Structure 1
């Protein structure tokens, strides 16, 4: 099941102002329970907070270090965080599928990029081999992955997989604000291109 969050959708979930001047005990208990659930959800949250500034981080591309706002189109940057273009077959399929999204996203004012913990050489080889029409950027050391709250903590420290992200697509506006986040429940599934385009058009 896809998880999509945007500023507009989150604002729509906010409760309307209470019409009663003094809430009843039942209303107070309900609000307390709601606040507790919200706090628990925040503790379990994966990824950046929609509506907040994106972390000011840099990733490595063909021309060296670059920030996501440096890559932005008129509306911003669509960042696909993926696990690996080296060993992850689901990531490789996603990267190939995203070929169909690059040009339409550009028409909507968004620049598409992919980010993983792979070294730049691995990403350059995969991009060339698959003729990807968008950039792949290295986050060796996973500093950006950590800053975006996407690191998968369930892999052994020091292992080959240490530092991989939970796969996610983050929409970052040209002003650096996180506009939306797309994730699937499992790492084998990724947001469909059609869903990505629908969200891009709505932002």
Structure 2
């Protein structure tokens, strides 16, 4: 019963904060970004698009989110199908490198994950929202300490969105849903690729 109440509280609280968010639309030019993944590999969108037909870019909230972990596991389980279509998969998160390591341990993710330390990528793609203090306190009561998880006091999380960027740098697919439980399925991604 406690888990059901926790899930309901997450959905109702986060839904109210993310309705104003819209994200980017299909046909838009994807904002360029660069970073370093969990293996120390330099990631640059433009460089990746020169080598790959497309980039599957998804945003997740953190290792504490069971829906994020499930989505990452599904992407990992189908990674060969995605890469067979010459797609490079990148996860972006505000969580610290230590917590990215926990995500990888929980999900066996073998693709690049970038810490968006200053929320630059999250903001560029229009998926950022900031929790108010009351919501932050509720999360902390559930054992989720965003300040510790993200290594800052901004209380910013991404809407768990997914974009496919084609070789020309345009966004050809968008999955953006304020309900953090809903994610792009691998089938949808493979169809869009």
**TM-score for both structures, normalised by structure 1:** 0.67
Choose from 137, 143, 147 the match for 2:124.
Answer: 147
Counterpart check, 1:91 vs 2:68? yes
Output the CA distance in 2 between the equivalents of 1:67 and 1:110. 14
1:22-67 CA deviation, whole Å, 9 max, x = no partner?
xxxxxxxxxxxxxxxxxxxxxx561123222211222331326532
Task: Give the unaligned 5+ runs of structure 2.
Answer: 1-19, 137-145, 148-154
The Cα of 1:197 is off from its aligned counterpart by 1.4
Output the CA distance in 2 between the equivalents of 1:129 and 1:188. 18
Counterpart check, 1:194 vs 2:187? yes
Change (3 A) 1:134 1:64: closer
Report what 2:22 is aligned to.
46
Output the CA distance in 1 between the equivalents of 2:170 and 2:95. 26
1:104-137 CA deviation, whole Å, 9 max, x = no partner?
1111111111111111232134224532221211
Report what 2:114 is aligned to.
137
Choose from 157, 167, 172 the match for 2:165.
Answer: 172
Report what 1:102 is aligned to.
79
Report what 1:76 is aligned to.
54
Choose from 176, 181, 193 the match for 1:183.
Answer: 176
8 Å CA contact 2:127–2:158 kept in 1: the answer is yes
Output the CA distance in 1 between the equivalents of 2:167 and 2:24. 16
Report what 2:15 is aligned to.
none
8 Å CA contact 1:151–1:164 kept in 2: the answer is yes
Change (3 A) 1:97 1:141: same
Output the CA distance in 2 between the equivalents of 1:175 and 1:63. 26
Higher helix share: 2
8 Å CA contact 2:160–2:180 kept in 1: the answer is yes
8 Å CA contact 2:21–2:128 kept in 1: the answer is no
Report what 1:56 is aligned to.
32
The Cα of 1:92 is off from its aligned counterpart by 1.0
Task: Give the unaligned 5+ runs of structure 1.
Answer: 1-43
Larger radius of gyration: 1
